[in-house]
Amino acid sequence: MRRFPDGFMWGVSTSAFQIEGALDADGRGPSIWDDFFGESGDTGAVAVDHYRRWPQDVQLLAQLNVNAYRFSLAWPRLFPDGRRREQRGFDHYDRLIDALLERGIEPVVTLYHWDLPQALEDDGGWRDRDTAARFADFATDCYSAFGDRVKWWLTVNEPWIVGLLGYLHGLHAPGYRDDVFGEVTVFHHLLLAHGLAVAAYRAIGDGRIGAAPNLAPHYPASDDPADVAASHASDGYVNRWFLDALFRGTYPDDMRERYEAIVGPLDFVRDGDLATISEPTDYLGVNYYAPRVIQAVPGDTPWPWRVVVPEGIRTTGGFTGGVAHTEAGTPVVPAAFTDLLVRIRDDYGEIPILITENGAVFSEPVHDARRIEFVHDHLEAVHDAIEQGVPVLGYCHWSFLDNFEWALGYAQRFGLVHVEYETLARTIKDSGRWYARVAAANALPGPQ
Ligand code: FCB
């Protein structure tokens, strides 16, 4: 048995656009995702109809024995055109929050999980500095409305993915491609939005607030110094750009020089911005899915690395050979999760960490033994980090239930609860039943 610290938060995660559907209900305005057709051609028009079925979903949460639920507020429900307040949207989240608290479930609320009001995109979206200020106003309205009951806030979800997939690869809304300047501008404005929202919270809030970046531990593909250097460089792109800004108030020199070589001066970074971005936070949300194994790309290129599919990974805990992959093709390397958590502590200090996402695509409808193994092994990895002194407050599994997986639509199932998309019927999977026992015991059972 591996016991977790008293008060450990056992949670599950979702985001508004991925589950709510009901895009026209109660005065909601359009978001950048409403008409964005990813590779799958699916949209979030129905998703899992959580906006209407939330009472049943809260019961399911109770059946999972979770004591925390991470979800996001849909900005376009609360401010349909980015400005005008829609009370019916506030009423919806009031009811949801009250129902959670009645069942002893702590709401962990994300303010920005990608569904920007279309009206703000039309004004320039995250490329425009003013969007950061608008976000701080939006956050302040949310603190005022819900802060008496919500004590755990997350500002922005995965800024790296917003820039990478929304401005470089065109895979996520708003769908721009090859716009490196746009990408790095958007990174900065999302971080600035985070900092402004933290500062606003200090004036009126008495709970905890932090960011929720996705972080990927890096490993060179070989001992070749070129691969080692490439891995460090890629780590600057994915991890240090965000963590250095948040916790040191600087952008890493190597990455800053790289961007400047590609796009010229980063003149959208103004005096004082990094002080705002590094406003002290109460905790860090960590989204962890997989490590990146990096090989050097020779020649004169601004991006001197590539991600390779590893046959094995040398983590601090030893060599993991024959790495398994999820159905999304991501390598399953729990020991890399421990490395990541220990590294955050070693490099950035004893900031309390809440795992805000971790999960895998496995399509088995209900008897999902592979997910049980995945969660078991990742919880063991979290426990290893706790034993090494990393202050981990809790674990929120991605996801509560199968949902709209952005560009990949409904084909990719991440849930502990199965959703039959024709009928929207929910069934707790074997992994959900298993997770409910772990949460109730506050401990992991021995080897499976
Ligand atoms: C993360 C997102 C989340 C979900 C998972 C699978 O990048 O934050 O919304 O899509 O991946």
Q: Amino acid letter at 51?
A: Y
pLDDT category at 318 given cuts 50, 70, 90 is confident
Radius of gyration of the chain (CA): 21
- Whether 357 is catalytic is yes
Predicted local distance difference test score (pLDDT) of residue 117: 98
Q: Which of 158, 279, 373, 405 is catalytic?
A: 158
CA 366 to chain centre: 25
Predicted local distance difference test score (pLDDT) of residue 322: 80
Whether the full predicted model's pTM is greater than 0.85, yes or no, is yes
Higher pLDDT, 445 or 439: 439
Predicted local distance difference test score (pLDDT) of residue 309: 85
The protein residue whose alpha carbon is closest to atom 2 in ligand 1 is 158
* pLDDT tens-digit series, residues 21-52: 999 999 999 999 999 987 888 999 999 999 99
* pLDDT tens-digit series, residues 75-121: 999 999 999 999 999 999 999 999 999 999 999 999 999 999 999 99
Distance 226 CA to ligand 1 centre (A): 31
Q: Within 75-217, where are the H helices?
A: 75-78, 87-102, 118-122, 129-146, 159-163, 180-204
Pocket test for ligand 1, best of 31, 39, 71, 158 (most atoms within 8 A of CB): 158
- Whether 260 is catalytic is no
Coil, strand or helix: which one is 250? coil
Can the peptide bond before residue 80 be classed as cis, meaning omega within 30 degrees of 0? Answer: no
CA-to-CA distance for 141 and 382, rounded, in angstroms? 35
Whether pLDDT at 448 is above 70: no
CA-to-CA distance for 292 and 308, rounded, in angstroms? 8
CA-to-CA distance for 113 and 117, rounded, in angstroms? 12
Whether pLDDT at 445 is above 90: no
Q: Is the CB of 282 under 6 A from ligand 1?
A: no
Q: Which of 121, 183, 357, 373 is catalytic?
A: 357
The full length of the chain comes to 448
pLDDT category at 317 given cuts 50, 70, 90 is confident
Q: Within 12-104, where are the H helices?
A: 16-19, 50-63, 75-78, 87-102
Distance 337 CA to ligand 1 centre (A): 17
Q: State what percent of residues in the chain have pLDDT above 70.
A: 99
**Nearest alpha-carbon partner for 47 in 64, 24, 23, 29:** 23
Distance 267 CA to ligand 1 centre (A): 30
Predicted local distance difference test score (pLDDT) of residue 323: 87
Q: Is the CB of 338 under 6 A from ligand 1?
A: no
Q: Is the CB of 158 under 6 A from ligand 1?
A: yes
pLDDT category at 447 given cuts 50, 70, 90 is low
CA-to-CA distance for 428 and 434, rounded, in angstroms? 10
DSSP 8-state code for residue 211: E
Distance 46 CA to ligand 1 centre (A): 18
Q: b/e map of 133-168 (b: 16 or more CB within 10 Å)? A: ebbbebbbebbebbbeebbbbbbbbbbbbbbbbbbb
